[in-house]
């Protein structure tokens, strides 16, 4: 009798966000308020550009099709919320907290999320250019079917983070700390800096071959053919 052994997980599975929004009331207009308290509010197709919602709490909220150019959301907190098709450049989310949040089809550039905390977050679809996640803490985060151009994860902490069917170009992992980070299903993986910080991550055999020159350069190995 052949005893079948249970396959051992290479990395611990991500605990995915499961957001179920209650009935929402429309935002009553006006502008965001610093330290505002928004519970069960729907922000739909609004221009929030240049507004200040620093320190605000967004709980059980839907933000749909809103412009957030240079919107100030420093230390804002998003809990059990869905952000669909946010668009803008220079959104300031420094030290913000996102917990049980879905970000869907974002079109963002130059987002400042340094020092932020992301826990049970799904980023699905869309394109995010030059996001600053330096010194951020990511736990149970999934990047799925999106494009990340030159994400800066310098000195960030990543625990149970998965990159699934997404494109990662020019990533900076300088000084990052990784635990159970799954890069195997990334559609494209390009690491500009910090390849030596991949301890704690898992990559596929094909990714290993693609990254081999960078690994060799990191340890000082020169690669040359016979007679060169």
Kindly compute the dihedral angle of the four CA atoms of residues 151, 155, 159, 162, in this order, to the nearest 10 degrees. Answer: 20
The yes-or-no verdict on residue 2 having pLDDT over 60 is: no
The model's pLDDT over 49-99, given as tens digits with 9 standing for 90+, comes to 999 999 999 999 999 999 999 999 999 999 999 999 999 999 999 999 999
Q: Averaged over 19-48, what is the pLDDT? A: 95
Render the burial of 199-212: b for 16+ CB within 10 Å, e for the rest: eebebeeebeeebe
What the block records as the tokens of 141 is 């985060």
Asked whether the whole model's pTM tops 0.75, one would answer yes
Min mean pLDDT across 9-23, 190-204, 213-227 is at 213-227
pLDDT in the model for residue 93: 98
The yes-or-no verdict on residue 147 having pLDDT over 90 is: yes
Q: What is the DSSP string of 108-144?
A: EES-B-TT-EEEEEEEEEEEEES-B-TT-EEEEEEEE
Q: How many helices (H) and strands (E) does the chain have?
A: 1, 16
Owner of token pair 């400042």: 112
pLDDT in the model for residue 215: 81
Q: State whether residue 80 is helix, strand or coil.
A: strand
CA distances to 6, 8, 24, 65 from 2, rounded to whole Å, are: 13, 18, 56, 56
């Amino acid at each position: 009798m052949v005893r079948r052994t249970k396959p051992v997980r290479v990395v611990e599975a991500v605990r995915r966000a499961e957001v179920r929004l209650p009935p929402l009331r429309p935002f009553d207009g006006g502008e965001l308020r610093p330290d505002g308290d928004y519970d069960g509010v729907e922000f739909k197709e609004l221009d929030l550009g240049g507004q200040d919602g620093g320190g605000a709490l967004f709980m059980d909220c839907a933000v749909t099709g809103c412009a957030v150019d240079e919107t100030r959301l420093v230390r804002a907190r998003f809990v059990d919320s869905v952000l669909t098709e946010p668009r803008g450049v220079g959104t300031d989310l420094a030290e913000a907290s996102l917990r049980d949040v879905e970000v869907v089809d974002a079109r963002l550039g130059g987002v400042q999320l340094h020092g932020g905390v992301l826990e049970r977050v799904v980023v699905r679809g869309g394109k995010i250019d030059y996001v600053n996640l330096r010194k951020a803490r990511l736990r149970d985060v999934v990047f799925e079917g999106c494009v990340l151009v030159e994400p800066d994860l310098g000195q960030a902490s990543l625990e149970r983070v998965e990159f699934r069917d997404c494109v990662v170009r020019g990533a900076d992992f300088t000084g990052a700390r990784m635990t159970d980070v799954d890069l195997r299903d990334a559609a494209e993986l390009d690491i500009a800096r910090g390849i030596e910080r991949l301890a704690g991550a898992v990559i596929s055999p094909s990714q290993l071959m693609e990254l081999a020159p960078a690994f060799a350069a990191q340890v000082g190995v020169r690669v040359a053919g016979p007679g060169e």
